[in-house]
Amino acid sequence: MNCLRSLDIEIHLGRFKEKEVYCSRCRRKFTAHEEKESDVAIGVELLKQCHLDSFETAILVTGDTDINPAVRTCKELFPTKTIFFLFPYRRKNKELQKIAPESMTIKPRAYFANQLPDPFIGADGTRYTKPESW
Protein backbone atom coordinates (compact mmCIF):
# COMPACT_ATOMS: atom_id res chain seq x y z
CA MET A 1 0.00 0.00 0.00
CA ASN A 2 2.94 2.33 0.56
CA CYS A 3 3.82 1.95 -3.12
CA LEU A 4 0.30 3.00 -4.12
CA ARG A 5 0.36 5.93 -1.71
CA SER A 6 3.67 6.99 -3.27
CA LEU A 7 1.82 7.20 -6.60
CA ASP A 8 -0.85 9.47 -5.04
CA ILE A 9 -3.48 6.75 -5.21
CA GLU A 10 -6.15 7.21 -2.57
CA ILE A 11 -6.66 4.06 -0.52
CA HIS A 12 -9.88 3.17 1.27
CA LEU A 13 -9.41 0.36 3.76
CA GLY A 14 -12.21 -2.12 4.31
CA ARG A 15 -13.44 -3.62 7.53
CA PHE A 16 -12.80 -7.22 8.50
CA LYS A 17 -14.73 -9.07 11.17
CA GLU A 18 -13.15 -11.90 13.12
CA LYS A 19 -15.12 -15.10 12.83
CA GLU A 20 -14.55 -18.37 14.64
CA VAL A 21 -14.56 -21.30 12.22
CA TYR A 22 -14.64 -25.00 12.97
CA CYS A 23 -12.76 -27.38 10.66
CA SER A 24 -14.51 -30.74 10.54
CA ARG A 25 -11.45 -32.31 8.94
CA CYS A 26 -8.90 -31.47 11.69
CA ARG A 27 -11.57 -30.93 14.39
CA ARG A 28 -10.13 -27.60 15.47
CA LYS A 29 -11.47 -24.10 15.79
CA PHE A 30 -9.58 -21.16 14.34
CA THR A 31 -10.12 -17.49 13.74
CA ALA A 32 -10.79 -16.36 10.19
CA HIS A 33 -11.48 -12.87 8.90
CA GLU A 34 -14.53 -11.96 6.88
CA GLU A 35 -14.72 -8.78 4.82
CA LYS A 36 -17.72 -6.63 5.69
CA GLU A 37 -19.55 -3.77 3.95
CA SER A 38 -17.14 -3.42 1.02
CA ASP A 39 -19.78 -3.83 -1.67
CA VAL A 40 -22.10 -1.34 0.01
CA ALA A 41 -19.24 1.14 0.42
CA ILE A 42 -18.30 0.79 -3.26
CA GLY A 43 -21.94 1.18 -4.33
CA VAL A 44 -22.43 4.31 -2.22
CA GLU A 45 -19.19 5.82 -3.54
CA LEU A 46 -20.21 5.04 -7.12
CA LEU A 47 -23.56 6.77 -6.62
CA LYS A 48 -21.84 9.74 -4.95
CA GLN A 49 -19.36 10.14 -7.81
CA CYS A 50 -22.19 9.91 -10.37
CA HIS A 51 -24.01 12.67 -8.52
CA LEU A 52 -20.84 14.81 -8.36
CA ASP A 53 -20.34 14.21 -12.10
CA SER A 54 -16.70 13.33 -11.42
CA PHE A 55 -16.33 10.73 -14.19
CA GLU A 56 -17.57 9.69 -17.60
CA THR A 57 -16.64 6.01 -17.33
CA ALA A 58 -16.33 3.83 -14.22
CA ILE A 59 -14.68 0.42 -14.36
CA LEU A 60 -15.42 -1.86 -11.43
CA VAL A 61 -13.02 -4.75 -10.91
CA THR A 62 -15.31 -7.41 -9.48
CA GLY A 63 -17.36 -10.46 -10.29
CA ASP A 64 -19.53 -10.09 -7.20
CA THR A 65 -23.24 -9.49 -7.81
CA ASP A 66 -23.70 -7.64 -4.50
CA ILE A 67 -22.78 -4.45 -6.41
CA ASN A 68 -25.58 -5.06 -8.94
CA PRO A 69 -28.30 -2.84 -7.32
CA ALA A 70 -25.97 0.15 -7.10
CA VAL A 71 -24.87 -0.16 -10.72
CA ARG A 72 -28.45 -0.56 -11.97
CA THR A 73 -29.51 2.50 -9.96
CA CYS A 74 -26.60 4.60 -11.26
CA LYS A 75 -27.37 3.59 -14.83
CA GLU A 76 -31.04 4.49 -14.33
CA LEU A 77 -30.41 7.88 -12.66
CA PHE A 78 -27.36 8.83 -14.73
CA PRO A 79 -27.86 7.27 -18.19
CA THR A 80 -24.98 9.19 -19.76
CA LYS A 81 -22.45 7.50 -17.45
CA THR A 82 -20.67 4.41 -18.70
CA ILE A 83 -20.21 1.78 -16.02
CA PHE A 84 -18.83 -1.65 -16.72
CA PHE A 85 -16.98 -4.51 -15.07
CA LEU A 86 -13.50 -5.83 -15.43
CA PHE A 87 -13.88 -9.38 -14.18
CA PRO A 88 -10.94 -10.96 -12.36
CA TYR A 89 -9.66 -14.15 -14.01
CA ARG A 90 -12.24 -16.95 -13.66
CA ARG A 91 -14.77 -14.61 -12.00
CA LYS A 92 -16.88 -13.65 -15.03
CA ASN A 93 -20.50 -13.23 -14.06
CA LYS A 94 -23.39 -13.54 -16.51
CA GLU A 95 -25.73 -11.43 -14.36
CA LEU A 96 -23.26 -8.52 -14.26
CA GLN A 97 -22.42 -8.97 -17.95
CA LYS A 98 -26.13 -8.58 -18.69
CA ILE A 99 -26.36 -5.12 -17.05
CA ALA A 100 -23.02 -4.04 -18.52
CA PRO A 101 -22.45 -5.86 -21.84
CA GLU A 102 -19.19 -3.98 -22.54
CA SER A 103 -17.56 -5.73 -19.56
CA MET A 104 -14.34 -7.72 -20.02
CA THR A 105 -12.30 -10.38 -18.22
CA ILE A 106 -8.73 -9.87 -17.03
CA LYS A 107 -6.46 -12.41 -18.67
CA PRO A 108 -3.74 -14.03 -16.50
CA ARG A 109 -0.90 -12.43 -18.47
CA ALA A 110 -2.35 -8.97 -17.71
CA TYR A 111 -1.70 -9.48 -14.00
CA PHE A 112 2.01 -9.90 -14.71
CA ALA A 113 2.20 -7.17 -17.33
CA ASN A 114 0.70 -4.55 -15.04
CA GLN A 115 2.69 -4.94 -11.85
CA LEU A 116 4.89 -2.25 -10.40
CA PRO A 117 8.60 -2.75 -11.07
CA ASP A 118 10.66 -4.72 -8.57
CA PRO A 119 12.23 -2.98 -6.85
CA PHE A 120 9.84 -0.04 -6.76
CA ILE A 121 11.35 3.30 -5.76
CA GLY A 122 8.83 5.55 -4.02
CA ALA A 123 8.59 9.30 -4.57
CA ASP A 124 10.55 9.84 -1.36
CA GLY A 125 13.30 7.46 -2.50
CA THR A 126 12.15 4.51 -0.37
CA ARG A 127 12.94 1.19 -2.01
CA TYR A 128 10.26 -1.51 -1.93
CA THR A 129 10.82 -5.11 -3.02
CA LYS A 130 8.32 -7.91 -3.58
CA PRO A 131 8.35 -10.87 -1.23
CA GLU A 132 10.04 -13.90 -2.80
CA SER A 133 6.78 -15.86 -2.60
CA TRP A 134 5.16 -13.54 -5.18
pLDDT over 90 (residue 5): no
Dump pLDDT digits (tens) for 16-30. Answer: 888 899 988 898 998
Q: Give the other-Cβ count within 10 Å of 43's Cβ.
A: 19
Beta carbons of 71 and 93 less than 8 angstroms apart: no
Angle at 3 (CA atoms; ends 15, 50), nearest 5 degrees: 55
Assess if residue 101 is contained within a domain: yes
121 within domain boundaries = no
- The mean pLDDT of 38-62, rounded to a whole number, is 95
What is the reported pTM? 0.76
The number of domains in the chain is: 1
CATH number at residue 8: 3.40.50.1010
Q: Show the domain range for 95.
A: 2-116
Which pLDDT score is estimated for 16? Answer: 86
Contact 97, 85 (CB under 8 A): yes
Task: Tell me the pLDDT band of 53, cut-offs 50, 70 and 90.
Answer: very high
Task: Return the number of other C-beta atoms located less than 10 Å from residue 71's C-beta.
Answer: 23
Report, as an integer, the average pLDDT of 65-84: 95
